[in-house]
Chain A
Amino acid sequence: MPLARADLESLLRTRRLDRTLTTALPAPDPAGIPDEFVCAPTGHTPLDARLCGGFPRGQLSEIVGRRSSGRTSLLLQTLASATARGELVALVDALDTLDVASADAAGVALDRLLWIRGHVVSNPGMCRDLNQRAMEQAIRAFTLVLQAGNFGIVAFDVSEAPVDAIRRLPFTTWMRLQRLIDGSQTAGVLVGGESMARSSAGLTLRLTHGIRDSGCGIRFGQRLFEGFDLDARVVRARARAQQEDAAVAVRTLAACHA
């Protein structure tokens, strides 16, 4: 007896192959098991559960937060998780602030990380457009890496960039990048102080210091800085209904002092 279309779709859905029929993202696995071919897990289980597996592939995602809100820690954790799975990752470090020792301590396989360091004059003086040019150059580098394809995660880090330098970028930049990454196996991650891609972003994750019994979210010992207690909150997710999520607690631990 020939199968009806509905039966075929049901079978494909059972085998999780329904993306061949529609461009809609598959429903998250009810068991909470991340599918690494759909999402790039961060390696932090509660956060991955909240993100339905991790940062979605084929989309731009954002990690936003104030300074010292754990953005870099989470980014390096995500890169470490990707390199451990055998993926190649790229980091467009627009302001050249990556601490290699931190990346190594986070577990990033450094030989699988393509690090692109931006040209930044930290104090440009009268030449105010220098940082802007560096920003545009970094965007071009980010575009080239996305075009090359087959990277697991491509991160664009402008965490410490002035807000006006990011706002001066044409908004079509992010739409173009989203079109570029659409349908690929790459998860694009933007890291900044505030949301950049806005509606072009597939997922926006905001990090803040969590208020705990221990204090304001920053833990200090007698002679050591010990880490952060953070709250991660999904503020925008294209694949889900627009609703405020409860925060996920993320705890960081300071690496040993050199």
Chain B
Amino acid sequence: MPNTNPDSRRANPESHIANPVYASLYRPPQLESPSASLAAIAREFSPRFECHRDDLVTIDVSGLERLLGPAQTIGEELRREAASRGVRVHVAVAATRAAATILAHARPGLTIVEPGREADALAPLAIGVLAMAVTDERRPVLDTREGHGPNVSARGAPRVVKKLDETLESVSSTLTAWGVKTLGELAALPSGDLASRLGREALVWQAFARGEDVRPLVPTLDEERFESTLELEWPIEGLEPLSFVLTRLLEPLSTRLERRDRGAAVLHVLLRVIDSGSGRSEYVRRLELPTPMRDVRTLRTLALLDLESHPPGAAVDRVTIVIDPTPGRVLQHTLFTRAQPTPEQLSTLLARLAALMGQDRLGAPAVVDSYRPGAFAMSPFAIDHAGARPSTGSGRAVMNSTLVVSPSTRAHPEPVEGERSFRTGSSNEERAVLEPLPPITSALRRCRQPVPARVAIDNGRPVRVTTDRRGFVGGTVVQCAGPWRTSGAWWAEGKSDVGSRKSDVLQTSDFRLHTSCWNRDEWDVALNDGAVYRIFQDRDTDAWFIDAIVD
């Protein structure tokens, strides 16, 4: 069954690799001991391979098409190489590691999956194959060497994979009780409902069933290790001297990365700190970089900013830098698109801003699917933006450079006042008055904490608004519009407190906080001082508040 659930779309962990292709080699149990290891076979084809177990290896064969041919040829070459070494293997080639690994377990011989058809290829398989195929995924996705941080990654991803083996049994029994027997049936279940019933671990199993990767391929490195250590004669305190040490360590590492056409995906900073009582201890910081980079200044700045936010707390007498490499970023600049900040510049800027303002105070705003007044979300500001792009936002199109001639508006030689129109070309003949757009949208300025107000009412309409808040003097209402009644989330409130309805504004000592539900009448009022406010009356407490300023 094809996967049509939009919730299932997730970011490809290795989206920087164009058209990824993976091959999995699985060696079924044999009586005689194998004459060659699968790693040796994999090394013949690509340096990027991951040994999951002795009998299972996944190879990144992206780009081998130009050398060997299509996926079918690559698979046949792999089988031929294994046979020449006396090893009988199952081979599966797919665009995701999950699909390749599961299919290598499930099907003997050679299996080729067309890109984008992973879910279809996995759909008829029984659920039981998951337990056999993805046993290696049970290990934690994230490094456990994090020094003092919580049990989450720097990006906040929880360690859900760690618990997979614990939950598999219960998940399997539940799915069996539901009548779900194949991977296709599991993949078709609504993700949100599945997570609410079986927990987030079930989403990982569902991702496997859909042939989606939950983490990038971690190459088995046996050759070069990007690590550099400096023993200090005297312990140093403070970040300024540490800056010189980091530069000295990072420069040769950067050179080696460049030589290997690699970039840093993860930067580990290991500091040996001198404790007052217990001697020496290791302090580890782990920076997951948003994009592969090897610029020394950027790496040093990011490391310093991270240490500034999480200082080691004691003097340091040994500094070690370890870099997890990943294929370098290939950039093709163009003269036809606007210059954008480089990912290195943006990463450094965001790190500096986070150190100054706090991690939760910056990002890209996002609208949320809610009628709650003032509701919004923050998402990380993307590092990699495409160049100039057409306007596809949910708002109105306001591109000045796009020529969309509307015959109905050609008759107007000049734009109507208050409307926007577009011109293009360099001569008068080429000017065209284009589709008139609506006027500028009046914007609100939100009071994150509604300002308590005193409102006088006459004939059911506000006639005077005053507050005690500095900057909100208030005055006589000269015009008003309303009421707009709005309420929501009362169903959620009822779950926690049956029988007693709570307001969305809870009064504490001297301030009020938004809680889950809201129930209010909103008015837009213009005061005699020229200000226009959006005020509301909480219908449960009858209290009035200024919610926003129309500006």
Contacts and interface: CB of A to CB of B under 8 A. Distances in A.
Interface of A: 31, 33-34, 36, 41, 43-46, 66-77, 80-81, 83-88, 96-119, 122-123, 137, 140-141, 144-145, 148-152, 159-160, 162, 185, 209, 216, 218, 220-225, 227-228, 249-255, 257-258
Interface string B308-348: 00000000000000000000000000000111110001101
Nearest to A37: B338
Nearest to B395: A107
Contacts of A83: 391, 393
Interface stretch (B30-38, B124-132, B154-162, B435-443): B435-443
Nearest to A101: B367
A70 B551 contact: yes
Nearest to A66: B530
B445 A252 contact: no
B548 interface: yes
B447 A122 contact: yes
B481 A220 contact: yes
A56 B478 CA distance: 38
B352 interface: yes
B338 A152 contact: yes
B341 A151 contact: yes
Interface string B390-405: 0111111111110000
B356 A110 contact: no
B365 A103 contact: yes
The secondary structure that dominates the B interface is: loop
14 contacts: A44-B420, A67-B529, A68-B526, A70-B442, A72-B443, A73-B443, A107-B395, A109-B393, A115-B363, A116-B353, A117-B361, A123-B469, A149-B345, A253-B442
B400 A252 contact: no
B429 to A, nearest CB: 12
B475 to A, nearest CB: 12
Given A68-B531, A160-B471, A99 B400 contact: no
Nearest to A185: B339
B338 to A, nearest CB: 5
A88 B329 CA distance: 21
A116 B376 contact: no
Given A113-B365, A250-B418, A250-B440, A104 B394 contact: yes
A66 B439 CA distance: 21
B376 A100 contact: yes
A114 B349 CA distance: 11
B366 A110 contact: yes
Contact of B388 (A85, A104, A116): A85
Given A34-B400, A46-B417, A253 B441 contact: yes
A168 to B, nearest CB: 16
B426 interface: yes
A249 B441 CA distance: 15
A111 B357 contact: no
B197 interface: no
Interface residues of B, number: 92
Given A98-B446, A115-B365, A225 B357 contact: no
B470 interface: yes
B470 A123 contact: yes
Given A99-B446, A117-B362, A88 B393 contact: no
Interface stretch (B72-80, B264-272, B377-385, B489-497): B377-385
A110 B395 CA distance: 10
Nearest to B468: A123
Contacts of B443: 72-73, 75-76, 99, 102-103, 105-106
B506 interface: no
Given A45-B421, A99-B445, A150-B340, A223 B482 contact: yes
A225 B550 CA distance: 10
A150 B395 CA distance: 24
Given A85-B400, A86-B338, A144-B349, A108 B532 contact: no
A221 B396 CA distance: 23
Nearest to A117: B361
Contacts of B423: 33, 45
B213 interface: no
B448 interface: yes
Contact of A70 (B363, B382, B440): B440
Nearest to A149: B341
A131 to B, nearest CB: 10
Given A70-B551, A87-B338, A116-B353, A252 B440 contact: yes
B28 interface: no
Contact of A252 (B341, B388, B439): B439
Contacts of B17: none
Contact of B400 (A84, A145, A255): A84
Nearest to A191: B551
A258 B371 contact: yes
10 cross-chain pairs, A with B, having the tightest CB-CB distances, nearest first = A86-B388, A107-B395, A251-B418, A100-B376, A225-B524, A102-B443, A72-B551, A99-B444, A84-B391, A97-B445
